[in-house]
Amino acid sequence: MREELRVAAYAVCVRDGRMLLARWVAGDGTRRWTLPGGGMDHGEDPYDTVVREAEEETGYTVEPVALLGVDSIKRVYARRLGGTADFHGLRIVYEARITGGELRYETNGSTDMAAWHALEEVPGLDRVGLVDVGLALWRGRPATGRAVDAE
């Protein structure tokens, strides 16, 4: 089994009772809402990652204003060329505010759309678990930075 580690940084942007989300397109074409953000490039600071990824996926320039926490996930999955992978994802979650830019969709990336959603409508969206993690961290602001403490 091959071990895989992915470190990524994400933004929780809430303004006027609405949350900014990007729609992620899975390899099989499934589309689900997620937090703007993504994988760190080698040598990149996570702060810079979240700024870069948010702009790529939403068109907005963001400023991280608080580190909300770190979420760690593990799963085992079948690899495309055979065998299995033991995947570990480390997700750094920031609160961020919009400082410029205009809403637009990413082209030729992992997302196909970005939109603002009323906070009360988010639970009804087809979304990835990271959205709930981000909301729990944003609402609870746990001292440990762990989403499980924010519930």
Instruction: Measure the CA–CA gap between 151 and 61, rounded to whole angstroms.
Output: 30
Count Cα neighbours of 60 within 13 Å in the Cβ-side half-sphere. Answer: 23
Considering the chain, what is the average pLDDT of its residues? 94
pTM (2 decimals)? 0.92
* DSSP assignment string, 43-74: T--HHHHHHHHHHHHHSEEEEEEEEEEEEEEE
pLDDT, tens digit, 9 for 90 and up, residues 116-129: 999 999 999 999 99
Going by pLDDT thresholds of 50, 70 and 90, the confidence category of residue 1 is confident
Instruction: Measure the CA–CA gap between 8 and 150, rounded to whole angstroms.
Output: 20
Give the torsion through C-alpha atoms of 141, 54, 132, 119, to 10 deg.
Answer: 90
148 vs 105, more confident: 105
Residue 30 pLDDT > 80: yes
Please give the average per-residue pLDDT across 102-113, as a whole number. Answer: 93
147 vs 108, more confident: 108
Predicted local distance difference test score (pLDDT) of residue 149: 59
Q: Is 88 in a helix, a strand, or coil?
A: strand
Going by pLDDT thresholds of 50, 70 and 90, the confidence category of residue 42 is very high
